[in-house]
Amino acid sequence: ERNIALDPTYNNVAYEVVRKHPLDHHNKELVEQLSLIEKQREIDGEARSALSYRRAISALISYPRKIRSWREAKKIKGVGDKIARMIREYLKTGTIQAAETVANSSRFLITSHFASIYGVGPTTARDWYGKGYRSLEDVLDAEGDTLSNVVKMGIELFPDFQQKMTRKDVEEIVEVLKEVLRGIAEGFVICPVGGYRRGKEINGDCDVVITHPEEAKTKNLLRQLVDALKAQGYVKHVLWYGEGHEKDQVSELRLQSGKKNSFDHLSKAFTGFRQPSTGINRQVDLIISPQSLYACAVLGWTGSKQFERGLRNWCKYGGVAAGHTFKGGYHFASHGLFDRRTNKRVHVETEEDIFKFLKLEWADPTLRNA
């Protein structure tokens, strides 16, 4: 039984960009339990530990059949000894004790609740817990006056934002955006990205990349669009607003921005957007890209986060995939693909171009759920 052949297209490699990660996979319950531990490590600030769980989880998502033995689990690249032992425990008993402990930890339940509020990260969540707060009422009672405006908005919008969106909800919002864009000018192109593009039925927010064939049309678009959305009553809350500087010197573009929430140099706004049919405020993330950066913007904002991490590593360090060697030496960001040595931008028109350049086989967005 151990020798049942695996899917011949399966790649047992550590590279997320080479493997396939469908939403529907063979080890869901196991992945669910490991994800709980991963989340707890993340919220407790144990970044390295969280990352090793995330790597293993992605490897398990891409594994082409239900895992049946410890020996089988140990062979999977990305699954280390410690997690392999947890898989052994899971196969033997049906549960992982460490995951049960997390699931029953009131500290975990409360800190993860705090951290799910927009603007509240793990550090603040732990800090609040440490001060003895056990609910949002506790937080508001004790800190109401000192909270930042973003956190105040996050708390105000929380009851709405925690309600998940169907694909239809996302599509409704995209239609509204198209209409508002038409009021600004003809010819805008809008691409829903994030979990929606990866095929998820249920989404936490709506992420869109917007471009126009004429670069000048995207120049002041973010301001125009947010103003129009406010004027038409769709947007009351702007959680983050940042105009990019796509035309700055290339070397400067490569630098990581120090600005919070600004992990690329594209113009973007994270908004609370009132969905017409339900009246619920949805988080809508608007990303504006000039045409020349559109392929990178779409690839960078489609995710998943672990897929993007893998993509950046592949660009930097390279690897061998399907007999092709890629030497690395590049830097990927949503605002461009750069040669690390010269800081020069590589011109790419489409996502397919990027994969070809990186010597990778095309990965359909629905297989990027790493």
Which residues here bind Mn ion, judged by CB under 5 A? 194-195, 204-205, 207, 285
Segment near ligand TTP (CB under 6 A); pick from 125-133, 225-233, 273-281, 299-307 = 299-307
Taking CB under 6 A as the binding criterion, the range among 72-80, 302-310, 314-322, 357-365 that sits at the site for ligand TTP is: 302-310
Residue 264 burial (CB count, 10 A): 23
Residue 72 vs 205, nearer CB to ligand TTP: 205
* Token pair of 224 as six digits: 């125009």
Among 27, 33, 203, 267, binds ligand TTP (CB under 6 A): 203
Contacts of 216-223 with CB under 8 Å at 24 or more apart are 217/185, 217/187, 217/188, 218/267, 218/288, 218/289, 218/290, 218/291, 219/290, 221/184, 221/188, 221/267, 221/288, 222/267, 222/268, 222/269, 222/286, 222/288
Closer to Mn ion by Cβ: residue 195 or 336 = 195
Q: How far is the CB of 141 from ligand TTP (least distance, A)?
A: 29
Q: Is 305 in the site for ligand TTP (CB under 6 A)?
A: yes
In Å, how far are 94, 316, 327, 370 from 21, measured between CA atoms? 24, 22, 24, 5
Strands 324-326 and 330-333: unpaired
148 burial class (0-12, 13-18, 19+ CB within 10 angstroms)? exposed
Residue tagged 């592949």 (tokens): 314
CB of 205 to Mn ion, least distance (A): 4
Tokens of 203: 């989404």
Task: Tell whether residue 16 is a contact of ligand TTP (CB under 6 A).
Answer: no
For ligand TTP, the nearest residue by Cβ is 303
C-beta of 274 vs 345, nearer to Mn ion: 274
- Report how far residue 313's alpha carbon sits from residue 78's, in angstroms, rounded to the nearest whole number: 14
CB of 204 to Mn ion, least distance (A): 4
Of 9-17, 121-129, 201-209, 318-326, the segment contacting ligand TTP by CB under 6 A is 201-209
Q: Which of 119, 290, 303, 365 binds ligand TTP (CB under 6 A)?
A: 303
Residues numbered 124-183 forming contacts with ligand TTP, rule: CB under 6 A:
none
| Six token digits for residue 210 | 């917007």
Q: Which does 328 bind (CB under 5 to 8 A by kind): ligand TTP, Mn ion, none?
A: none
Token pair in block for residue 157: 């919008």
Give the span between the Cα atoms of 82 and 92, in whole angstroms.
16
Among 122, 154, 195, 272, binds ligand TTP (CB under 6 A): 195
Nearer to Mn ion, 133 or 270 (CB): 270
Q: Is residue 242 at the binding interface for ligand TTP, with CB under 6 A as the rule?
A: no
Of the two residues 48 and 305, which places its CB atom closer to Mn ion in the complex? 305
Check residue 255 and report its DSSP letter.
S
Choices 40-48, 102-110, 202-210, 355-363; region in contact with ligand TTP by CB under 6 A: 202-210
| Among ligand TTP, Mn ion, none, residue 272 binds (CB under 5-8 Å by kind) | none
Q: Least separation, in Å, of the C-beta of 68 and ligand TTP? A: 30
Which is nearer to Mn ion, 259 or 316 (by Cβ)?
259
Q: Are 130 and 111 in contact (CB under 8 A)?
A: no
- By beta-carbon proximity to ligand TTP, the closer residue of 10 and 240 is 240
* Tally of CA atoms within 13 A in the half-sphere of 167 that contains its CB: 7
* Minimum separation from the CB atom of position 191 to ligand TTP (A): 12
- The token duo for 290 is 């000039």
The residue within the footprint of ligand TTP, chosen from 240, 241, 263, 357 (CB under 6 A), is 263
Provide the token pair at 205. Answer: 């927010």
Q: Is 301 in the site for ligand TTP (CB under 6 A)?
A: yes
Torsion region of 41: left, alpha or beta (phi above 0 gives left; psi -120 to 50 gives alpha): alpha
**CB of 74 within 8 A of CB of 60?**
no
112 binds ligand TTP (CB under 6 A): no
Residues that bind ligand TTP (CB under 6 A): 194-195, 203-205, 207, 263, 301, 303-305, 308
